[in-house]
Structure 1
C-alpha cells in the first residue's frame, strides 16, 4: 500500500533488513519524523525474527517488500524498483540524517547545477543514493 501525500518528497527510502527488528524500529522512528515525509520501503530479507510483525503493528505507513529468501545486498535493487519516487535512496538503517542530500541535490539538478551521484539503481534507470 502506498500512501501519497499532497506534497510528496521526490526521495524514497529503501532499507534492506534481516533480523534487525529493534534497530530497524529505532531507525524508522527517526525517519518518519523527517519534514520531507519520504516514502519508506523496507525490504525484508527473509527475517526469522519479528521484523514483519513489528512493521505491520508499529509502522503501518511503511511499505514492506517481503522476500522469500535472503538476497543480500540485491534486496536494495528490488526495493529501488518498487518505489514510486524519482530518487530512491538506499539507506543504511543507522544513518537517517544522510537522506537529506538526495533531495537537495535533485533540486540543484533542476537548477542546472551538476552533482556527483553514487550510481544507478540496477534496472530502474533512476539515480540511486547511498547514505554513508
Structure 2
C-alpha cells in the first residue's frame, strides 16, 4: 500500500524523530542522510548510547541540524527515554541507526493520529534490505486477531505490541507509562510498554501506509541478546499477567531457554530480581488480558468471560510465542 501524500498542514513540525545508536557511525551517517531528505523536515534527536568513541557530529556526514544526547553508559532501550525528554512535538517517531522513515510516512502518521485519539501508537510497515522485502512480523500484524474497540473503525488492525524501532507514538502516552523499563536493556522491551499503554486505555495499530526501511547492521551480539530477551520475556508475565498465565508463559519460556542451553543463566537472573518483579507487579485489566489471549492463547478463550479472572483455572497448552522471531 503506498504512503499517503502529505498535506501542507501535516508538514509542520508535529512529529520528532528519536534515533538510538551505539558504536555504528557508518550506519548512523547513512540513516541521517535519509532523514535529511524527508519532506516533513522533522526535528531529529540522536541518542548516543555510550559509543566508544562517543558520537562526534563533526565526523558524521549528513549530521545537519540533529541534536545530540549523550548517555553516560549504555542504557539499552531506555536510552530512548532521554531522547523523548527533549521532544517538544505531540508525536514522536523512533529509529534505530539501521532504520529510516520513507518520505511522507511521518506526515501520514500525523494524519492518522490526529484523526483518532484512541490510537496511541502506529506500528509501521517495515521493508528490509535493498530489495525492500516485506518484514514477516508485519505480515503477522496485518492478520492480527485482536478485537477492535466499539465505534468507528481503527486506522488499521489492532495489536498487542509493536516494533520499537519502527513506531510513531503520542509523546504524552510514552511519558505517561514512564518510557522503557531500564532493567530490560534490549529485548522485548516494547511488549511491557504495550501492555502498559493498553492498560491506560490506549490502542496500538498496524498502519501499513506508514513505511520505514530496515537495513540490518552486522554489528550485533546475538548470543547476549538471546539471553536478555529470554530473561525479559520471563519477567513480563510476572509483572503484568494474572497468576495462571504467568505460570503458563514461564513454562513455555523455560522450555525455550532449555533448548538454547540458557535455562541456568535465565533462572539465576530471574531469581536475583524477584523482589523487584513482585514490587512492580500490576496485572493488566481483563479487557487487556483478552487482547493478549487473542494473540498468544486463542484456544484458551471460552464463552464465559469470567474465566479471564480465574487465576486457578487449568492452563491450556502453550502456543509458540511470536516474539521468538521478532526482528530487531
Q: TM-score range by the shorter chain?
A: 0.7 to 0.9
Q: TM-score, normalised by structure 1?
A: 0.73
- 1:97 equivalent to 2:101? Answer yes
Q: In the TM superposition, what is the alpha-carbon distance from 1:99 to its structure 2 partner? A: 7.5
Q: What does 1:3-82 align with in structure 2 at a 5 Å threshold? A: 8-49=12-53, 51-53=54-56, 55-57=57-59, 58=61, 59-82=63-86
Query: What is the match of residue 84 of structure 1?
Result: 88
For the residues of structure 2 that align with 1:67 and 1:87, how far apart are their CA atoms?
A: 23
* Higher RCO by CA contacts (8 Å cutoff, separation 6 or greater): 1
Q: How many residue pairs end up in the alignment?
A: 122
- The root-mean-square deviation of aligned C-alpha atoms, in Å, is 3.1
Larger helix percent: 2
Q: In the TM superposition, what is the alpha-carbon distance from 1:23 to its structure 2 partner? A: 0.7
- In structure 2, stretches of 5+ residues that fail to align are 1-10, 117-152, 163-168, 180-196, 198-203, 205-211, 215-328
Q: In the TM superposition, what is the alpha-carbon distance from 1:91 to its structure 2 partner? A: 1.2
- In structure 1, stretches of 5+ residues that fail to align are 1-6
Query: What is the match of residue 4 of structure 1?
Result: none
For the residues of structure 2 that align with 1:60 and 1:35, how far apart are their CA atoms?
A: 15
The structure with more radius of gyration: 2
Residue aligned with 2:174, SS: coil
Q: TM-score, normalised by structure 2?
A: 0.32
Q: Do the aligned partners of residues 107 and 71 (structure 1) sit closer, same or farther apart at CA in structure 2, a change above 3 Å counting?
A: same
Which whole-Å deviations, capped at 9, do the CAs of 1:40-98 have from their partners, x for residues lacking one? 0100111113x522x23442411000111111110112211211221111112222135
CA contact (8 A) 1:87 1:102 kept: no
CA contact (8 A) 1:13 1:39 kept: yes
